[in-house]
């Protein structure tokens, strides 16, 4: 992915910062280092599938204190979408005057100087190139590689990685296993997002490969060093329950700065993602150590971790046949209720393991089968994604995406709304709400 990074400054003719803004806080070499960090993360996390090349405008682009773009005024005094869009259009024109075509890259990151903007970062969610793929980063994050990775992640159809807190509130940035969660320690996207991007190959289980009462044993290499994960599609017997993703994460490569509650654990996520252009939230469900288990009651699935080691995580996946063991399951040594115990080891079997149990047929559970062949991530038949859905922009009301310059004349009416721009939240500790945090930045 080709990226053009444009540091912006709003200055008077004398070179002073315009009212409402200030000069940049970071040097071009510092910006280049952060851009390089982002490129390294993409390369590492994608196992070399997505290489980021970037050009940083040097020196920064200086704009006037106000202006208009296609008849829409902008200034540095406010931070409406018309303002950030106007800065971007004006920056493109300024760079074109330097001989740098706005079309030289597919993605453009505009580095916003100290301003009225309360966001940390903004990025269109999904961008197929039918309009300019843009990202904005606020002044404090010009030198933070994870901020670039996060916002550009929105451009390639990722949305936030969230988690339900114990009180049931969904914190849309609360998944610390993904760079689409809270900023800023280095880590890759989570397993469902990696699969969405085509970076992760999963062993997949579904109704045809995981029968009621069946337990399968799987060794999961670390996702941090191997493009391996596991996906359980439960739609065949539990419609409406999102697919379950299981992955093992260790502090290595792009995951070098994994948080303590993620590193060296087996992670469980759920997400309804159907294809590479399906911008869907992901939900963190569990981070398991050896001996840990997580159960999804509606689908009757239990994920259990037997051991963790350098060669991977030994994990079992059990699909419940019924709420309790039966004489037949006890006799056959099948974990029908997915409590992790079978036969005589299971207390619930004590009543069944008498002489009468021996005549019962085994339950309708096939023997453990080897895992099915790995499936590549889904891809739409056409590389062209669906048009982005209009969503309310978190900053101000949406404005039109920029027409391709030069515009023959100002549009008589506003074209379609801009695709949603999503904010990047600040670093931990998590705020009471992302919106409040954006305002509180810092």
What single DSSP character describes residue 390? B
Question: Considering only residues 59-78, where is the footprint of Zn ion by CB under 5 A?
Answer: none
Q: Interface with Zn ion includes 422 (CB under 5 A)?
A: yes
CB of 421 to Zn ion, least distance (A): 9
What is the SS3 assignment for 442? coil
Q: Interface with Zn ion includes 304 (CB under 5 A)?
A: no
CB 177 within 8 A of CB 287: yes
Q: Which residues contact 351 (CB under 8 A, 6 or more apart)?
A: none
φ, ψ for residue 72, nearest 5 deg: -100, 120
# chain residues binding Zn ion, by CB under 5 A: 2
Compose the 270-289 pattern: x for residues touching Zn ion by CB under 5 A, - for all others.
--------------------
CB of 279 to Zn ion, least distance (A): 11
Q: Interface with Zn ion includes 41 (CB under 5 A)?
A: no
Residue 204's DSSP bridge partners are: 231
Q: Interface with Zn ion includes 127 (CB under 5 A)?
A: no
Q: Interface with Zn ion includes 134 (CB under 5 A)?
A: no
Which uninterrupted H or E stretch holds 146? helix 145-155
Q: Which of 424, 430, 431, 434 binds Zn ion (CB under 5 A)?
A: 424
CB of 275 to Zn ion, least distance (A): 21
CB of 182 to Zn ion, least distance (A): 10
Of 418, 399, 441, 425, residue with least CA distance to 116: 441
CB of 160 to Zn ion, least distance (A): 6
DSSP, residue by residue, 343-373: GGGSGGGTTT-SGGGGGSPPPS-PPPPPPPP
Q: Which residues contact 365 (CB under 8 A, 6 or more apart)?
A: 211, 212, 213, 214, 321, 329, 332, 334, 336
CB of 438 to Zn ion, least distance (A): 10
Compose the 367-406 pattern: x for residues touching Zn ion by CB under 5 A, - for all others.
----------------------------------------
Which residue's Cβ lies closest to Zn ion? 422
**Pairwise CA distance, residues 268 & 27, whole Å:** 40
Q: Interface with Zn ion includes 420 (CB under 5 A)?
A: no
What single DSSP character describes residue 222? B
Q: Interface with Zn ion includes 31 (CB under 5 A)?
A: no
Instruction: Give the position of tokens 């990151």.
Output: 109
CB of 396 to Zn ion, least distance (A): 17
Q: Which residues form the interface with Zn ion (CB under 5 A)?
A: 422, 424
């Amino acid at each position: 992915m080709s990226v053009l990074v444009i540091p912006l400054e709003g200055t008077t003719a004398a070179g002073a910062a315009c009212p409402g803004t200030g000069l940049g806080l970071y040097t071009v070499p510092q910006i280049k280092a952060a851009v390089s960090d982002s490129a390294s993360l993409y390369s590492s996390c994608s196992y070399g599938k997505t290489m980021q090349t970037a050009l940083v405008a040097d020196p920064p682009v200086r704009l006037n204190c106000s202006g208009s773009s296609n008849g829409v005024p902008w200034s540095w005094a406010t931070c409406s979408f018309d303002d950030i869009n106007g800065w971007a259009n004006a920056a493109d024109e300024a760079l074109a005057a330097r001989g740098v075509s706005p079309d030289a890259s597919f993605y453009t990151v505009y580095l916003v100087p100290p301003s009225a903007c309360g966001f940390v970062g903004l990025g269109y969610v999904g961008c197929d190139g039918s309009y300019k793929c843009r990202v904005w980063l606020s002044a404090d994050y010009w030198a933070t590689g994870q901020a670039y990775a996060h916002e550009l992640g929105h451009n390639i159809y990722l949305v936030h990685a969230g988690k339900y807190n114990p009180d049931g509130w969904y914190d849309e940035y609360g998944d610390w296993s993904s760079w689409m969660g809270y900023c800023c320690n280095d880590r890759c996207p989570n397993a469902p997002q990696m699969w969405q991007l085509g970076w992760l190959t999963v062993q997949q289980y579904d109704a045809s490969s995981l029968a009621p009462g069946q337990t399968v044993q799987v060794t999961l290499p670390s996702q941090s060093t191997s493009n391996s994960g596991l996906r359980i599609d439960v739609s065949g017997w539990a419609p409406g329950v999102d697919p379950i993703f299981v992955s093992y994460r260790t502090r290595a490569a792009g995951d070098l700065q994994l948080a303590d509650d993620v590193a060296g654990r087996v992670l469980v996520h759920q997400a309804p993602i159907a294809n590479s252009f399906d911008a869907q939230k992901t939900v963190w469900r569990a981070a398991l150590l050896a001996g840990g288990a997580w159960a999804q009651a509606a689908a009757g699935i239990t994920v259990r971790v037997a051991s963790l080691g350098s060669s991977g995580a030994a994990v079992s996946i059990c699909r419940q046949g019924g709420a309790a063991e039966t004489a037949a399951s006890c006799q056959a040594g099948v974990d029908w209720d997915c409590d992790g115990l079978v036969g005589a080891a299971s207390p619930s079997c004590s009543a069944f393991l008498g002489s009468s149990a021996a005549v019962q047929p085994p339950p309708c559970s096939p023997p453990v089968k080897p895992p099915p062949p790995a499936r590549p991530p889904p891809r739409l038949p056409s590389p062209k994604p669906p048009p982005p859905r209009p969503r309310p922009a978190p900053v101000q009301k949406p404005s039109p995406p920029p027409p391709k310059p030069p515009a023959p004349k100002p549009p008589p009416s506003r074209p379609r709304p801009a695709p949603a721009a999503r904010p990047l939240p600040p670093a931990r500790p998590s705020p009471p709400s992302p919106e409040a945090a954006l305002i509180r930045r810092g």
